[in-house]
């Protein structure tokens, strides 16, 4: 399910509206993921998983920055995320199912904060974008 020109446009426009708050959303998405899908915490055994935890906030910021980079490089995502792909394949080894949980919780977070902008068409484009990012991040697993 490749990103169409319209998808890319929807994703870029939506992401621009998030402005300087992306780190807040990254953090909230993580908190939601840990609460709704507790098995995801197994990848962060050393974390305080509660909202407000400085570790979760720092990680949420990292996540947000990676997604912002991805949005700016929609035409060459595998290249843009190459070192992150390496990291996930050779060091982190996060089971691929978990990307779906995080992507879902990110969409929930964005719906909660920007309901007016997340109409079904934009939602579809973002869902495709997050699937694509997830598949790039797991592309070197085997």
Of 59 and 104, CB closest to another protein: 104
Residues that bind another protein (CB under 8 A): 28, 31-32, 35-37, 51, 104-105, 107-109, 111-113, 115, 118-121, 123-124, 127
Q: What's the rounded Cα separation, in Å, for the pair 7 and 32?
A: 26
Of 57 and 127, CB closest to another protein: 127
Q: What's the rounded Cα separation, in Å, for the pair 127 and 61?
A: 20
Of 40 and 138, CB closest to another protein: 40
Q: What's the rounded Cα separation, in Å, for the pair 70 and 38?
A: 27
CB distance 117 to 93 below 8 Å: no
CB distance 3 to 128 below 8 Å: yes
Minimum CB separation of residue 33 from another protein in Å reads 9
Minimum CB separation of residue 90 from another protein in Å reads 31
């Amino acid at each position: 399910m490749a990103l169409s020109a319209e998808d890319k446009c929807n994703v870029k426009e939506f992401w621009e509206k998030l402005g300087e708050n992306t780190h807040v959303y990254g953090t909230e998405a993580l908190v939601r993921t840990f609460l709704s899908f507790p098995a995801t915490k197994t990848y962060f055994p050393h974390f305080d998983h509660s909202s407000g935890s400085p570790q979760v906030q720092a990680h949420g910021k990292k996540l947000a920055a990676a997604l912002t980079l991805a949005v700016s490089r929609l035409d060459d995502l595998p290249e843009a995320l190459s070192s992150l792909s390496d990291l996930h394949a050779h060091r982190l080894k996060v089971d691929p199912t978990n990307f779906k949980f995080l992507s879902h919780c990110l969409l929930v977070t964005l719906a909660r904060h920007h309901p007016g902008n997340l109409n079904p068409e934009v939602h579809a484009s973002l869902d495709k974008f997050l699937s694509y990012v997830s598949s790039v991040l797991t592309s070197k697993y085997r």
